[in-house]
Amino acid sequence: MQRKSSSLVLGAYALLIVVMLAVPFIGIYPVLVMKVICFAIFACAFNLLFGYTGLLSFGHAAFFGSAAYATGWIVRALNVSPEVGVLFGVVIAAALGLVVGAIAIRRQGIYFAMITLALAQMVYFACLQMPFTHGEDGLQGVPRGRLFGALSLDSDLAMYYFVLGVAIVVFVFIRRIVHSPYGQVLKAIRENEPRAISLGYAVDRYKLLAFVLSSALAGLAGSMKTLVLGFATLSDVHWSMSGEVILMTLLGGLGTFFGPVLGAGIVISLQDGLADRAGSWVTVIIGVIFVVCVLLFRKGIVGEYVAFRARRNAKSRAGVVAQ
């Protein structure tokens, strides 16, 4: 597939990166954009599990939130530099992912989803009770610190570029996973698990690894969010957060690469823009989007667009539509 399209693709990426680099200077509130980027990472992590492997985890907030709390706590209590804090958060989320995944993978399909939901609820109650999270009040006043002990991240500008840099690394990483042989096996598991088993793959091990990777990346998103906004609260581990990340991915496009990013952008902008004016109607709107997406729009925005182009394109497209 190395036609002149590859230069077009690179051009598109370059344009996007230029736009992103310029964001603080064109009058958009950087904190909001950073929040969107964090949730975009979260959604991409979730997409890795649901879109590419076909496992619906209804409790992904547990990983997002536990890393958020872990990073918040260690940065505040031990005064470590931000990259150590983030690493700690990721490790905690991955460890939790290992435990939850090991338990949940024992069942398939819809039971898997319900088990992840129930386990995430346990994590919620644990976070509610543990003293260092400060329960309802949340973990407040998390300092951004000095990156590698040198570069202060207190200014929104510096923090923004740090977040952007991390996001680019994450996206490249996810791309590598998806395009690797491992990624192909995951897709095979999503399409037809019994077949994959009959081909000799240790399917449970693949699923567990995907789960741990997904939870680690979700944790990364949570850790970054804590540094950006300066707090970690119970909202981060609540089931409504799990629902939101599912919506972002579904709306944007399951199994596509940019879909979750777009979905995150839309949902966060919606919540931010409507929160003052609409209050509870934001919940209703999110519910309506869910219903509409499931009924009419299952491929999500990017997915539907791709399918539309594919239908228009007379040439046969070898290979899988979802990359």
Residues 141-170 that bind another protein (CB under 8 A): 141, 156
Contact between residue 47 and residue 218 where contact means Cβ atoms under 8 Å apart: no
Among 77, 78, 103, 169, binds another protein (CB under 8 A): 103
In angstroms, how far apart are the furthest CA atoms of the chain? 62
Residues 6 or more apart from 129 whose CB is under 8 A from it? 135
We find the least distance from the C-beta atom of residue 242 to another protein, in angstroms, to be: 10
We find the least distance from the C-beta atom of residue 210 to another protein, in angstroms, to be: 16
H or E, element range at 315:
none
Contact between residue 224 and residue 87 where contact means Cβ atoms under 8 Å apart: no
Quick check: 122 binds another protein (CB under 8 A)?
yes
User: What CA–CA distance (Å, rounded) separates 271 from 279?
Assistant: 9
With contacts defined by CB under 8 A, how many residues of the chain interact with another protein?
95
Per DSSP, the three-state class of 295 is helix
Quick check: 125 binds another protein (CB under 8 A)?
yes
Between residues 165 and 273, which has the closer beta carbon with respect to another protein? Answer: 273
We find the least distance from the C-beta atom of residue 185 to another protein, in angstroms, to be: 20
| Residue 147 DSSP class | E
We find the least distance from the C-beta atom of residue 28 to another protein, in angstroms, to be: 4
Residue 242 burial (CB count, 10 A): 25
Among 77, 126, 199, 202, binds another protein (CB under 8 A): 126
Among 208, 239, 270, 297, binds another protein (CB under 8 A): 239
Residues 127-146 that bind another protein (CB under 8 A): 128-129, 134-138, 140-141
